[in-house]
Amino acid sequence: KNCVDTKTLIFTNLVDFDTLWGHRRLVKDYYEGLKYFDTKLKEIMDLLSEEDMLIITSDHGNDPTYLVHTDHTREHVPLLVYSKNKDFVPNKNLGVRKTFADVAKTVDKLFGLNKIQIGESFV
């Protein structure tokens, strides 16, 4: 059931993947955390309404197997987008995005704000 009556953004930072396991290069813990998250993802998706959109991404790569340093690493990060409304989010590959501003532009468009001048909406 939708818990809000107006357009709402819920931002969740899965910080353990970054600071606890990624930067510390704890490969087994990172793997176990990812497996656990995968088991909960369907539950999250099932709770969404037709008007909801789930966007999963990261602000940087962080390869837990890269032992040269503990800084960010340079992988492409995933951009997974889901909605029950296929007119809203068609089943398609979004490709490699050129900028994180695409996420901001998409949220800006969904909320009808027209404030973000850079990036390209993927809806």
Residue 74: domain span: 15-92
The whole-angstrom separation of Cα 109 and Cα 104 is 9
Mean pLDDT by 10 residues, the chain (123 residues): 72 88 88 95 94 90 86 87 86 89 95 95 91
> How far are the Cα atoms of 23, 31, 55, 68, 86 from residue 48, in angstroms, in the given order?
32, 26, 12, 41, 13
Query: Is residue 22 assigned to a domain?
Result: yes
**Residue 113 covered by a domain:** no
- List, in order, residues 6 or more apart from 72 with CB less than 8 Å away: 60, 61, 62
Domain total for the chain?
1
Is 62 a member of any domain? Answer: yes
Position 101 in a domain: no
Residue 79 pLDDT: 92
Which pLDDT does position 75 carry in this prediction?
85
